[in-house]
Amino acid sequence: MDAFGLTVVAMLVAAGFYVISAYNRLVRLKHNVKAAWSNIDVLLKQRHDELPKLVTTCREYMKYEQETLERVTAARSQVANALQRGDMSELAAGESMLHGGLGQLFALAENYPELKSNESFRQLQLRISSLENAIADRREFYNDSVNVNNIAVEAFPTNIIAGQFKFDTASLFEVEPSQTSDVDMKSLFA
C-alpha cells in the first residue's frame, strides 16, 4: 500500500474513533441527566410524603386558615401529577405554587404559638425546609447536567452524530419568576 492509501486508512480509523468517542460521550451525558433527575425525583417524593403530615398537624391548630392548607394540598397534587407525566413546565408551576404555599403556611404558624411549640410541627418544618434546600441544590446540578448535554447535542461536529443516533436535548427545570422575586412579608401577615 502506498502513502496515499495509508493516509486514507489512518483518516478513516481516526474518524471511526472520533465517532465512537463522541457517541459514548453523548450516552454518558444522557445518563447523567437521567441520574440528576432521579436525585430530584427522590427528594420530591420525600417532600410529597411529608406534606400531609404537616397539613394534618397544622389543621388541628389552624381551623380558620383552611384556604392556605387547601392551597398547599392542591400544589402537592399538581407536582405529583406533573412528575407522573414528566411535564417540566407544569412541574415548575406546581413547585412555584407549593413554595409560595409553604412560605405562607410557615408565616401563618407564627400566629399560633401552641403550633409553633408543637414538637411534631417543628420537626416537620425542619424536615421540609431541609428537603427544600436539597431540592434547590439538586435542581442546580440537574440544570448543569442538562446544559452540558444540550451543548454536546447541539455543537458541531457532535450534532451530526447526535442527529444520526437521535440524541435529544433535555428540558431545564426552571422556576416561576415569582419564586425568584422578593417575598412580600407584609402580605403574608395580612
Q: Which three cell numbers stand for residue 187?
A: 402580605
Question: Is 4 a member of any domain?
Answer: no
For the domain that residue 19 is a member of, what is the CATH number?
A: 1.20.1440.20
Question: Is 43 a member of any domain?
Answer: yes
- What does R_g of the chain's alpha carbons equal in angstroms? 24
Instruction: For residue range 128-153, list pLDDT tens digits in order.
Output: 889 989 998 999 999 999 999 999 99
| pLDDT recorded at residue 83 | 83
Question: Is 5 a member of any domain?
Answer: no
How many domains are contained in the chain? Answer: 1
| pLDDT recorded at residue 185 | 44
pTM of the model: 0.72
Rounded distance between C-alpha atoms, residue 171 and residue 20, angstroms: 26
Instruction: For residue range 96-136, list pLDDT tens digits in order.
Output: 888 888 888 888 777 777 777 788 888 888 888 899 899 98
Question: Is 170 a member of any domain?
Answer: yes
Helix, strand, or coil (residue 27): helix
Instruction: Count Cβ neighbours within 10 Å for each residue of 153-184 and write b for 16 or more, e otherwise.
Output: beeeebeebbeeeebeebbebbbbeebeeeee
Q: Where in the sequence is the domain holding 143, given as residue range(s)?
A: 14-188
The answer for residues whose C-beta is within 8 angstroms of residue 166's C-beta and 6 or more apart is: none
